[in-house]
A and B are shown apart, each in its own frame.
Chain A
Amino acid sequence: MRSVTINVNGQRKTVNVDPMTPVLWVLRVYLGLTGTKYGCGKAICGSCTIHLNGTPIRACVTPVSACIGGEITTIEGLSENCDHPVQKAWIEAQVPQCGYCQSGQIMSAVSLLRNNANPNREEIKSYMSGNLCRCAAYMRIIKAVEIAAKES
């Protein structure tokens, strides 16, 4: 156990954990930020996607120690009122079904559009293929990314 300080959604947070603890559990259990989900624990499904210094990472395999000094953004930090352009597009396209994968989907979509403001269909499919959706809401995920690209 060690005291570890990380920056999450613009706030400094100190927790007492084994520094090797995946940041996923630190966020969810210690900081109560439960929007980031556990799906596979092995960097396969994307449900735990967050941003570290603006880059998407898999929180389930990233030790909290690797986040020290960086800036973490989670779904909760994306906007105050669910009004980030990607979130608005997600609502407009009525994407979520069970919703469990959607925080990860949205975080991936945000970084896609940050790197490529006007992705074509194939680029969207390929970028978003790292995020599994068992409800298979894929048609609307793609559509929502296209809406968000148009809006921003």
Chain B
Amino acid sequence: MGNQGKFKGLSRRRFIGTIGGGVIFVVGAWKLAPDLFSDHQGTPVKTGSDFEGQNVSVWVQIHEDDWITIYNPSSEMGQGSMTALAVIIAEELDADWSKVTVVQSPAEPDIYGVGWGGRGRGSMITVGSRTVMSYYTNLRQAGAQARFVLLHTAAERLGVPVNELSTEPNKVIHKASGRAMRYGELAKLVKPMNTVPEIPQEQLKHPKDFRLIGKFGHRFDVPSKCDGSAQYALDVQVPNMVYAIIARSPVYGAKPRLTNASQIRNTPGVVDIVELNHGIGLITETIELAINTQPKLQIEWSKGNTADNFNSVKAFESYPEEADKPISNGDVINALKSGVKSYKSDYKNDFVYHAQQEPMNAIVSFSEDGKSAEAWVGTQAPGSNRSAIANVLGIDASKVNFHRTYVGGGFGRKATSDWVTEAAHLAKAIRKPVKLLWTREDDLKYGMFRPQSLQRMEASVDSSNNIIGWKHIIVGTGDRLMGTGSATPYYAIPNQHIEVRNIDHGVRTKHWRAVGHGPNKFAIESFIDEIATDLSMDPLDFRLNLMKEFPRAQKVLKTVAEMADWNTPSPAGMAKGIAFAERSGSLSACVCELAVDRSNGRIIVHKIWATLDAGIVVQPDNAIAQMEGGILMGMSSVLKERVTFVDGMVEQSNFDDYQILRADEIPDVLEVKIIDSEERPTGIGESGVPIIGGAIANAFATLTGKRLKHIPFTPDKVKSALA
């Protein structure tokens, strides 16, 4: 653990000394302060001068005692990218990792954002497993540029040409004279450089020379998450803070009318009631009062909302008709007709809830003079959150001092601004710091869900068992969210038609880890197995044949088959299933081995093997952890999770009626192998989710001869499939 352990021994407010003229304090990253220059309560501490100019660059600050602070632009929500990004910089900087601390960068997308293609500036949103792959090029450059500044500073000091200098961890070396300077010594000599040239590719490290990238490394945030010191937004307390809870529309779109306002106002400790478009905000002196008073709000809700009569189970009945509607692509129509065999199969999936362990919450404070604001949020989208607050308050975004905290789970839910906007409205009404809490019930009842959908799959096969036509129609609510993962770029299939047909049920939907890849890959991988089985072909061979133009994909699949001993039959009462997926540029595959308890309809997953090709992997152990988590979270959604609506209202309310996977339901073995690669990095955080649905469904079909086609595979569905 090196740096974290040592760092903790130092006093939390470390005096940095004079760098670039100013005296600054930096709060120990151990506590991960909400921003650079405030303590763990969020109270500003002394800053001698502005953030820029103190540093070797905007990414790197070097202290005289050789400690190096690296700024993290990404949201740390468990995926580990705050460590991975710092490792990328440290690698090219030639930093001594045991002396690196990582702190949150300010929420300044113009400085710390990244463009979608991974070049240039852009957004600070953390979504789509894109962080490492997007920042990889920029941050290698950032590290190399910081090293460039140190090299030039040393050249000037030592009076030697810069090309005679080299670096070792935290040192510049002049071999010819045997002299060396520590980075800490150089830090105080650094003159801020306005422009640093782009370091040419050939001067960056060759992957074989990496000391940090691709090596085992502990995550920076882990120790603070083992002693309770990691700070989440819900943990932040600021002086004069009041608490708020909102009673929101049970049916999306309904507007409130509070009928017992005076009774509530007269409750001791109630500070204010704020009427919002979609609910009633209750502001109180204590959090327990807010929780206790929320159920006492008597509210009449407006009718005439799209979702008023929405019944999610019933809605499925209308989907096949929509899926039946013809397509106009003549080639596909002909191909589907002209095969020697044709196939058609419907798959379904229910809504699922993010269930991130930390419910939505935020603190927003609006200044007395109405000119500035401050916010503390655990978020995936700091840039747009900041703008949203500014919009509500009618101020410029630059006047919002936005503090980012650790995120207690995001999974896509915290990549929007709805809850931050609410907090801003409350703060505007009261001009005091307001901490808005969503109870677990609020979080679920007013959730934004992965869409429910029907997947209509059709295919035809020629006399050589090649798929010659393919049609995939997705019907459901959630529009583009349903489309991701519907393409099959690694299967050579001609004559394809893929289409999303949206029916607006008027409910809230959102990206959920891997977005459409969960449902779509479940359907595709199940369907591929259905075809292979009918053709009496081994599902592995059948896929390898489809992938024959893509050796990289084949390797991912072959490797997992080897790990799982695919050709060796499972013990009696068990069977194996296989699946493949691509997500965020990465390739993954999975084999699972399961049994079924026919008495109670429970699927028991015994073993899971998985492979991942994600190009260069910066933090291999963390990549494995992400695969483990993604696979098990995916398994949770496949076996257990379901949100249902009746009369437009969510039926579930907490973890008792919305069950997620527990420790006693995990497999005995979950083995993940990362494929070695020198290709550019691709996404990891979501790659585990899409492969597990198909693997489970296929194993179940092999074991029982019956196919489960509607996730989640709850015991009642299993029992009726086997009846």
Contact = CB atoms under 8 A, between A and B. Distances in A.
B356 A134 contact: yes
Nearest to A125: B664
A33 interface: yes
A82 B8 contact: yes
Contacts of A97: 78-80, 625-626, 629
B11 interface: no
Contact of B409 (A25, A87, A100, A138): A100
B645 to A, nearest CB: 21
Given A34-B235, A81-B8, A100-B357, A138 B632 contact: yes
Nearest to A127: B663
Given A39-B440, A132-B662, A135-B78, A82 B625 contact: no
A96 B286 CA distance: 30
A98 B358 contact: yes
A34 B406 contact: no
A14 to B, nearest CB: 17
B629 A25 contact: no
A4 interface: no
A136 B633 contact: yes
B636 A136 contact: yes
B419 to A, nearest CB: 15
Contacts of B626: 97
B228 A41 contact: no
A145 to B, nearest CB: 10
Given A22-B288, A91-B223, A99-B78, A35 B357 contact: no
B407 interface: yes
Interface string A78-95: 110110000100110011
Contact of A96 (B222, B407, B636): B222
A34 B630 CA distance: 28
Q: Secondary structure of the A side of the interface?
A: loop
A97 to B, nearest CB: 3
A40 B407 CA distance: 17
Interface string A15-59: 001100110010011001111111111101101000000000000
A35 B625 CA distance: 23
Interface residues of A, number: 61
A94 B1 CA distance: 10
B30 to A, nearest CB: 10
B218 A94 contact: yes
A129 to B, nearest CB: 4
Greatest chain A CB density within 10 A among B77, B80, B224, B625 is at B625
B234 A94 contact: no
Contacts of B661: 136, 138
A142 interface: yes
B694 interface: no
Given A87-B226, A125-B663, A125-B664, A42 B440 contact: yes
A98 B666 contact: no
A25 B666 contact: no
Interface stretch (B155-163, B390-398, B589-597, B652-660): B652-660
A90 B357 CA distance: 19
B631 to A, nearest CB: 8
A99 B221 contact: yes
Given A87-B227, A135-B78, A138-B666, A94 B622 contact: yes
Closest 5 CB pairs of A and B: A35-B228, A99-B225, A97-B78, A100-B408, A98-B78
Interface of B: 1, 5, 8, 77-80, 218-219, 221-232, 234-235, 237, 286-288, 291, 355-359, 406-411, 437, 439-440, 621-622, 625-626, 628-633, 636, 654-656, 660-666, 668, 670
